[in-house]
Amino acid sequence: MHSFQDFTIQFEEQFNVRQFPFHTPPLYDAAEHILDIKGKRIRPICVYLANEMFAPVGDDAYHAAAAIELFHNFSLIHDDIMDKAPLRRGIETVHQKFGENTALLAGDVMLVKAYQSLSKISATYLHRSLDIFSKTATEVCEGQQLDMNFETKEQVSFEEYLNMITLKTSVLVASSLELGAVLGGAGLGNQEHLYEFGKNLGIAFQVQDDYLDAFGDAAKTGKQQGGDIIANKKTFLIIHAREYCTPEANAVLDELIKNNPTNKVEKVLQIFRDCKADQWATELKEKYYNIALKHLDEVAVLSERKTLLRQLASDLMMREK
């Protein structure tokens, strides 16, 4: 069995080269720019991890993993435009460096490149892989639209927010694992359990992300504490506070959102603590984490073949940034 690090090195050796031509600048330079802002490659490595649970990893895993990573970066380019974000991981976003029109085209060509990579998968698995990938790509776009809808919606329910982050964030992790299972020759039941493992782990990850934005140590997260609060984002925490805090506290929240005082973050955090939103978020994260592990338990392979995914899940839940 390979480690997460082994697969990361294997993936990077093939992927960490120029993916686009040198002609037609700045279009392809813009596409390369987002790829240079490297993340942890969790999604593409999930393809490898799921594949190896059932069979040795071959070239198909790289083609699927590259497609996933390219699609993920396509979505980041467009998300940053919509959010008017100047930086990603401390580096200028594509639209900030190259302009919005070029950024849009760079995202588009990256999506085309993702499908080109996926098309290289062997015929045995190609049709199923295309179905999974296309369904997921559509759902991610739906999730982003819902997220934008929430910006102008006065109240968002827990169920609405859960559906949005499932589509926007979780399904890409879930489908990465499902694709890996398909390429490993897993049966439909095992494919479904790995998908549900990834989906619920993704939800737990987002709960942790919301929590860290509010209560995390800025020195560890590398982000301004309370960034979601400042931006008036509707997160798990604010939705819970709205439902469970007193009418007086809700009125204070209304004023803070309307007026944006300098002590806004401090006051909102206190409201969160008063209604125990911080404690609730920790319990909610554990709930979805445990659901994820139950689905992993149901995957019909030897226990030791699940060790790396268990470790990945644990690492994601223990993170402080």
Residue ranges of domains in the chain, CATH in brackets: 1-155 (1.10.600.10), 187-316 (1.10.600.10)
In this prediction, residue 285 carries a pLDDT of 96
In this prediction, residue 225 carries a pLDDT of 82
In this prediction, residue 247 carries a pLDDT of 94
Backbone angles phi, psi at 141, to 5 degrees: -65, -40
In this prediction, residue 189 carries a pLDDT of 98
Which residue numbers in the chain have pLDDT < 50? none
User: Hey, what are 31's tokens?
Assistant: 């596409």
Backbone angles phi, psi at 302, to 5 degrees: -60, 145
In this prediction, residue 222 carries a pLDDT of 65
Task: For residue 87, give the 3-state DSSP assignment.
Answer: strand
Backbone angles phi, psi at 5, to 5 degrees: -65, -40
In this prediction, residue 270 carries a pLDDT of 96
By CB neighbour count within 10 A (0-12 exposed, 13-18 middle, 19+ buried), where does 239 fall? buried
Distance CA 147, CA 96 (A): 22
Q: For all residues of the chain together, what is the average pLDDT?
A: 94
Residue with tokens 């149901």: 298
**Whole-number CA gyration radius for the chain:** 20
pTM of the model: 0.94
Q: Which of 171, 179, 182 is nearest to 137 (CA)?
A: 171
Name 92's bridge partners: 87
